[in-house]
Structure 1
């Protein structure tokens, strides 16, 4: 991406487009081996044939390497030879040697169910049934992210504006688009020029979590900022990524999350945000869902716009703590 001079640009009102205006311990690397790679290659082939997304397969491969190392190098067994006692030792290994959380162990448990189902292996069945009977993995508390409202997002944007960084216009445009669309971070990162209607502010999401295309829109202000930003991109073919790095390539998927976290950490240090708030880049999507419901948009419309497979997911936001607190404040004025 070409450098953007935000101090002297042709748009005199560019600053007005930057903020949202509200309406109404390091893990050790797991080495590979011939036998390990053989299992991984077969697993990937099966999962790709099942139509599983590459990102999901990538996460599974990370867990599979850990599991295969335990089988092949520590227990010196092939996966079909693993016994109930071996599985107990594996989860103890995860907790004591790799310091994994209970939530992470639950993900490994679910992954192993998939792994053994893919290869039609029966040796995990006893451990699986015993785990259900003893309730090993169903008492894990899932702590949800706190949502972000427009005020918090504007505070984040103000922090980014003050940074001496050439990419701040791009980063702010991404944050604004995340808020307007309620998209997942990956859905925005994957946008190409061919997916974008820069006249009407419409965007076609193709590579979605639910594997279903959907269209989203942005505000007039965000569209103006995007049209200003894209003038400085290196490439603009239909297949070119909308959000590019300094070489014109697709932006690293972790970049915006780091920028966002740095700003949140600063706001926490200044006392603007409580320290116990769990705010990450995905909190913008949560906050947008709550915001849309608070504005009276029908839950079925919110479900389709956000791309939720199940209405239960959208219902979670309708009963979120943020909405409850807002309703309690409204009740105080009425009582």
Structure 2
């Protein structure tokens, strides 16, 4: 029966990557350099998968190697991504950025002409980035209520994670990596060590959230300084994929019930987006919001400052005084 279930899944007809010693040599050097740069393992893993696809294409289709390809060969590769692998424009853009880094690391110049030509002809700059909508408090409460009413064994933990994400504006990985030694349960502050920008920062939560968190953590399997405050039922790490599924399930349920508009694009990162917009709405200086959220660039924070949610409120405020 299980075999039949697996057969029902439609698999994509993509050629498998044929690994060679030379390919592995390129990949190994690239991965080592990126690891030394401090890039997160998950990012390196994704980049390596894409790099293998590129190297396989030029080896098998063009019978060339990374140091012998020419300008038109890159055009053939991106045409292959578009027509045969049917990848989105945004994913093609990731390949473009990957190859820029790869050829820079390898100190090869044969990508330079294609790169400059692509920038000049705006081949990749016009790709649309699909932004998500910001979370608001009413929608958050609907989500939390749905989780609490569910039958899942981890519903209390999952709801607690989502509530702390909302309070702190943290990335999901930052919350899942919190350990007891990072938490000041008297002040309600949390030191984030494993951050995207590699810079430690401190975030806070409300007293109400703190009280719930204190009660919750008393029931953890492990409670040592190095143990995570959010644990699986066996004391292990909570996976990002699990939290994304829990969140997505609640969003779909609320949309099916007509409680959330079907065109709202809400993902778990919308909690961070919503916190940024909320802080700016309450008059918090933009440079303070930047530091609190751990944005590497002020431009990222400015995106929230000019978000659709703030523009909508601005138009409503203007309408009232007309």
Give TM-score scaled by structure 2 length.
0.91
Distance 2:224 2:57 in 1: 47
Greater CA deviation, 267-276 or 287-296? Answer: 267-276
Superposition CA RMSD, Å: 1.7
Deviations 1:55-107 (A, max 9, x none): 33233222212212222333332211222222111111111222211111111
**Is the partner of 2:216 in helix, strand or coil?**
helix
The 1:143/1:332 distance shift into structure 2, 3 A limit, reads same
Give the one of 89, 94, 119 matched to 2:81.
94
Give the one of 49, 58, 78 matched to 2:45.
58
Distance 1:82 1:184 in 2: 39
Deviations 1:104-135 (A, max 9, x none): 11111011000000001111112112212222
**Is the partner of 1:203 in helix, strand or coil?**
strand
Distance 1:54 1:132 in 2: 29
Partner of residue 172, structure 1 = 159
User: Does 2:246 match 1:259?
Assistant: yes
Partner of residue 242, structure 1 = 229
4+ long deviations beyond 6 Å: none
Distance 2:51 2:227 in 1: 33
The 1:31/1:219 distance shift into structure 2, 3 A limit, reads farther
Distance 1:37 1:230 in 2: 45
Partner of residue 28, structure 2 = 41
The 1:299/1:26 distance shift into structure 2, 3 A limit, reads farther
* 1:282-297 matched pairs, under 5 angstroms: 282-297=269-284
Give TM-score scaled by structure 1 length.
0.88
User: Does 2:176 match 1:189?
Assistant: yes
Distance 1:37 1:182 in 2: 40
Deviations 1:219-271 (A, max 9, x none): 11111121122122211222212211122111112111111011111111122
| Alignment: residue pair count | 311
Give the one of 85, 90, 97 matched to 1:103.
90
The 1:33/1:151 distance shift into structure 2, 3 A limit, reads farther
Deviations 1:172-219 (A, max 9, x none): 110111011101111111111211112221111011111100000111
The 1:150/1:80 distance shift into structure 2, 3 A limit, reads same
Partner of residue 120, structure 2 = 133
Partner of residue 302, structure 1 = 289
Distance 1:174 1:26 in 2: 35
Distance 1:151 1:171 in 2: 18
For structure 1, which runs of at least 5 residues remain unmatched after alignment?
Answer: 1-24
Distance 1:37 1:228 in 2: 50
Give the one of 111, 123, 130 matched to 1:143.
130
Distance 1:130 1:327 in 2: 41
User: Does 2:110 match 1:118?
Assistant: no
**How many Å apart are 1:311 and its aligned residue?**
1.6
Deviations 1:281-327 (A, max 9, x none): 11110111001111111212111110112222111111111011112
Partner of residue 188, structure 2 = 201
**How many Å apart are 1:49 and its aligned residue?**
2.1
Distance 1:76 1:234 in 2: 56
